[in-house]
Amino acid sequence: MSLYLQNWHLIGHEWAVRLLAEQIAAGRTRHAYLLTGPSGVGKTTLATRLTQAFNCTGENPPCGECRPCHLIGQGIHPDILTVEPEKASIRIDTIRDLQAALNLHPLEARYRIAIVLDVHHLTDAAADALLKTLEEPPVAARLILTAGAAEATIPTIVSRCQVIALRPVPARQIETALSTRLQLPPEQSTLLARLSGGRPGWALNAAQQSGDEQTRLEQRTRLIDDLLSLLRANRAGRMAYAEDAAGRAEELPLLLDIWQAWWRDVLLLAEGSRVDPVNADQVEILMEVAQTLGSTETRSALMAIRETANLLAKTNVNTRLALDVMLLRLPYLY
Ligand SMILES: [Zn+2]
């Protein structure tokens, strides 16, 4: 890997780094960038690196070692302004303050840079105000915006930015990063990489056992254990679980997601596919179930869960009843 890619220290997104690094080297940068992609994919990290690269005084920007790189990395550079949604919205007052600050000369950096995170949360008035800055940006200013998806963002904003659409990163790349950066054991790197859905930030947080990701991992383990005991439970045991699960409505979407992913893995194995299972820590039991049930029964189990997920998401069906039916449709393993 060439030096400039390494300096950016990103997991995946080589094409985006190459494009931005070339623009900076050639002195042909744009006034505004919009980084899009799912949460945890690397938008905020890329925004920070790009901000460092714009203001780096080292040889291979972002060098990570000069004063601007250090201050920006710690989030304390006086010329860098970051705005993020408060209670899921970015208001016009915030954008006005930002504009006033952007109009000042940089205190010490080459560029004053505004990073506006999750611009899909701009109120209409705030979006109009931001648009004015995008149309006539101060000379020494740069704007870096992020959003979940370009489509979710106001078209007039999108059209005034260079859009960098970050895609999910291949699991193998995340796996390598987890083992080299965090020295995780191989099985754990593989599992987290596959569960991450291509989002390195999610995988790193889960590996460092922080926040929501860790809670979700624990929930996943419990829900898969539940599924395995249900497959061995009789009718009465299943009805009792349905009653209990119906009372935990906020967890149901996750339960249905995790169970679908688990059955998809069984189906892949039952059909002899060479695709790697998502649930990398479950391969033994997945194989056992695939061999016991075969692909027809596995497919109908997957359908039972998928149909229930659709019903619950799109209709007013009685939750308890839908779960009863779903659990009674699952195969019995003894
Ligand atoms: Zn630097």
pLDDT bin (cut points 50, 70, 90) of residue 206 is confident
Nearest residue to 173 via CA among 181, 164, 165: 181
Provide the CATH topology of domain 3-165: Rossmann fold (3.40.50)
**Distance (Å, whole) CA 136 – CA 118:** 21
Q: Which pLDDT score, from 0 to 100, does residue 216 have?
A: 79
Question: Quick one: pLDDT at residue 215?
Answer: 76
Please tell me the distance between residue 24's alpha carbon and the centre of ligand 1 in angstroms: 13
pLDDT, tens only, 249-279: 889 998 999 999 999 999 999 999 888 889 9
The verdict on domain 170-209 having CATH code 1.10.8 is yes
pLDDT at 3 (0 to 100): 56
Please say if the pLDDT value at position 43 is more than 90.
yes
User: Cα of 69 to ligand 1 centre, how many Å?
Assistant: 4
CA of 57 to the centre of ligand 1 (A): 5
Distance 29 CA to ligand 1 centre (A): 17
What is the dihedral angle through the alpha carbons of 280, 284, 286, 289, rounded to the nearest 10 degrees?
180
pLDDT range class, residue 334, cuts 50, 70, 90:
confident
In the reported structure, the alpha carbon of residue 97 is separated from the centroid of ligand 1 by a whole-number distance in angstroms of: 28
In the chain, % of residues over pLDDT 90: 79
Q: Is the pLDDT of residue 44 over 90?
A: yes
What would the mean pLDDT of 289-315 be, rounded to a whole number?
A: 95
Q: What's the rounded Cα separation, in Å, for the pair 32 and 66?
A: 24
b/e sequence 139-177, b meaning 16+ C-beta within 10 Å: ebbbbbbbbbebeebbeebbebbeebebebbebebbbeb
User: Could you tell me which of 229, 298, 217, 212 has the C-alpha nearest to residue 262?
Assistant: 298
**C-alpha 68 – ligand 1 centre gap (Å):** 6
Does the structure show a pLDDT above 70 at 232?
Answer: yes
* Average pLDDT for 113-137: 95
Ligand 1 midpoint to CA 72 (Å): 9
> What's the mean pLDDT in 187-203?
92
| Average pLDDT of the segment spanning 30-37 | 96
Residue 218: pLDDT over 70: yes
| Domain positions in the chain | 3-165, 170-209, 211-329
Cα(46) to centroid of ligand 1, in Å? 15
CATH number of 211-329: 1.20.272
Say how many Å lie between the CA of residue 62 and the centre of ligand 1: 5
Please tell me the distance between residue 75's alpha carbon and the centre of ligand 1 in angstroms.
14
Ligand 1 center to 9 CA (angstroms):
13
Tell me the CA–centroid distance for residue 101 and ligand 1, in Å. Answer: 23
Say what the pLDDT of residue 2 is: 60
Mean pLDDT of the chain: 92
Comparing 52 with 207, which gets the higher pLDDT?
Answer: 52
C-alpha separations of 183 from 187, 193, 265, 332 in Å: 11, 14, 27, 40
Query: Among residues 118, 268, 245, which one has the least CA distance to residue 194?
Result: 268
Residues 38-56, mean pLDDT to the nearest whole number: 96
Q: What is the pLDDT of residue 16?
A: 97
Which pLDDT score is estimated for 211? 63
Give the mean pLDDT of 137-161.
91
Residue 152's pLDDT band, with cuts at 50, 70 and 90, is confident
Over residues 40-67, the mean pLDDT reads 95
Ligand 1 centre to CA of 2 (Å) is 17
